[in-house]
Structures are given as structure tokens and as C-alpha cells.
Structure 1
Amino acid sequence: MAVLVTGAAGFVGSHVVAQLLQSGRQVRATVRNPKNAAFLNSLP
């Protein structure tokens, strides 16, 4: 099941994304500024 996280580049959103990925979920994320979200690509 895919999960949508809005605000994934923020403090809470980035931690939510990391936890979802660790639990094996497929994650779709939205961010306001892609430059601020480059670190999300390094998550597993």
C-alpha cells in the first residue's frame, strides 16, 4: 500500500517518511521546494 506524505521536507514529515520506509511501505511525498528535499533521495 502506498502512503502519501505532504510536507515531507519538514521536520515531522521527513521523520514520518523515514519510519514508513523502514516499515516497508511505499511512500509518495510532496514538497514545496525540491532543493530542500534532496536528502529524501538518500533514504532507503
Structure 2
Amino acid sequence: MAIPTTILIDEQGIVRWIDQSDDSRLRASKDKVLGAVNRIFS
């Protein structure tokens, strides 16, 4: 079964953030992803 996963990778190819859902029908929200982007890449 597929597991919804969102991964943020920096310019050097290093994984900086991963979000995996426990529910196959749910994905990371836009606000959650943008929050991670702002924290990690700002």
C-alpha cells in the first residue's frame, strides 16, 4: 500500500524534512509544507 510522503531536499541533495501520513488518503497540508520550507530554507 502506498504511504503518502513529502520530502524536502536541499541543494546538496540532503534530506531536510520528511512527512509521512498514517492514513493513505491524507497528504501533508500546504501550510505544513510551507511552514517547513520557511523554517528550513530561510
TM-score by length of 1: 0.30
Q: Which has the larger radius of gyration?
A: 2
Which structure dedicates a bigger proportion of its chain to helix?
Answer: 1
Q: Could you say which structure has the greater relative contact order, defined with CA pairs below 8 angstroms and 6 or more residues apart?
A: 1
